Amino acid sequence: MLCKVGEDIKVTIYGLGHMGLPTAALLARSGLKILGADINPQIVEQINQGRSPILEPGLDEMVHETVKSSHLSATTDMGEASRYSEVHMVIVPTPVDENKVADLKAVKIACQSIVKGLKEGDLVIIESTVPPGTCRNVVIPLLEESGLKVGVDFGLAYTPERALPNNTLEEMAHNPRIIGAVDQCSGDKASSLYQRITSGKIIRVTDLQTAEMVKLMENTYRDTNIALANEFALICESLGIDALEAIKAANHHPRVNIHTPGPGVGGHCLSIDPYFLVEIAKKQDIDTPLIKTSRMVNEKMPLEVARMARESLKEKGKDLKGATVGILGVAYKGNVADARESPAEDLIKELLSSGGVVYVHDPHAPSKIVESFGAIPADMSRTLQCDCVILVTDHDVYGQIEPSMVKKGLFICTRPILDPKTFREAGVTFKGVGRS
Ligand code: SAJ
């Protein structure tokens, strides 16, 4: 068996979302024929018209270029998708259900689709984030329903996607890749595929399960570190200490790297992946108090921000009930449109349940998201006229906010992008974290 992908190899990518589409576009640009498969016809249609449905620097241009050169196309027909190619890559979302247990539905559907066209010599690559053991216990049994045997008739590798949204293409082209595989040949083949798109190091680990674990460790480390930063920030706030100044000073220590406090941790990764570890540890009869507590700390941050708003309004003789509150940003982080698991949602719900009238501005997220959170979409100037303004997302445009724009003089800043001194000197009450 040839343990290297050839120049004429065809690849199907199952899932054309935030990670699947950039991967498809990069592989297509490297000269391979890529077929993207997605259940959403609107996404497929837009891509086939040469447009990216996702806001991501450089992606629209790359989709346009690769569709035009016929290296990239998309389909909703899973049978066609699986018969088309020799390499099958699964990059679908893996959320948690209401019990915080991994929902592997999309991975299972993708594997069932692959089975329709799986042939001898094919390679399957799973990139979706999953609890350790998923490839062995879920993916392999499903794929072997084809009658073919893993490691004998077809190969399997797990390589987690690790790129940062809003810098995805850049990171996919330079970040190291972790590869765990069912056998040497599958790992070699996967390595030769990723070498086409990344100049980063290829790190081979012992097996599929180790690679699954690496990804969860990375995101759980970040979530736990942010929880610590958030707890530090709450202590600093109560003592009148500038949390950012203290954190920056502490980070001068050669072995300290405290992350940045904020309104809570959003997005589809950090706020979910630690639960995969909790789930698997529980099955092994191991308690994970640190991981669970970190999640709890980050999940209650929006309530802490609401408390800050309530108390600050009170200091000004106003009740939150009936007051107008302006929220700047619903996206989970700066310069993206994605509001999945955004801390803005819990914050808005808490403010509304206390009787506040909530206006929201976001330059990227669609207003239907704001409405689904129960708030009133507004322009930036209307939002800044509210009794209390809360900056939730560090969109670049908010770095231009000046004290005179905050009409009622109360500003809660949950991201370190503004200088508190200029606001305070202009008579604005500035709470939260500042750029120090
Ligand atoms: N955040 C903070 N403080 C920080 C850093 C982030 O409050 O110091 C917040 C953000 O505002 C956001 C959330 O955390 O609400 C997550 O943002 P992020 O930029 O840290 O990460 P994601 O979710 O966009 O992407 C992460 C990345 N993982 C790591 O950096 C370890 C990315 O590399 C992964 O590919 C991605 O998860 C994923 O898909 O798993």
Summarised one tens digit per residue, pLDDT across range 111-163 is: 999 999 999 999 999 999 999 999 999 999 999 999 999 999 999 999 999 99
**β-strand pairing of 429-432 with 376-377:** unpaired
Q: What is the whole-number distance in angstroms between the Cα of residue 374 and the centre of ligand 1?
A: 26
Compute the mean pLDDT over every residue in the chain, rounded to the nearest whole number: 97
pLDDT band, very low/low/confident/very high, at 4 (cuts 50, 70, 90)? confident
Catalytic choice (189, 215, 333, 431): 215
pLDDT band, very low/low/confident/very high, at 1 (cuts 50, 70, 90)? low
The answer to whether the CB of 332 is under 6 A from ligand 1 is: yes
The answer to whether the CB of 269 is under 6 A from ligand 1 is: yes
- Catalytic (active site) residue 111: no
CB atoms within 10 A of CB 103: 15
- Catalytic (active site) residue 185: no
Q: For residue 116, what pLDDT is reported?
A: 95
Taking 70 as the threshold, does the pLDDT of residue 359 lie above it?
yes
Q: Are 181 and 160 in contact (CB under 8 A)?
A: no
Residue nearest to atom 8 of ligand 1 (CA): 260
pTM higher than 0.85, yes or no? yes
Beta strands in 174-302 (DSSP E): 177-181, 202-204
The answer to whether the CB of 24 is under 6 A from ligand 1 is: no
Q: For residue 390, what pLDDT is reported?
A: 98
Instruction: Report all structural domains of the chain as residue ranges with CATH numbers, in order of start.
Output: 10-208 (3.40.50.720), 243-432 (3.40.50.720)
Q: What is the whole-number distance in angstroms between the Cα of residue 217 and the centre of ligand 1?
A: 13
Q: Which residue has the tokens 């068996």?
A: 1
Catalytic choice (135, 236, 269, 413): 269
Q: What is the distance between the terminal CA atoms of the chain, rounded to a whole angstrom?
A: 59
Q: Are 384 and 406 in contact (CB under 8 A)?
A: yes
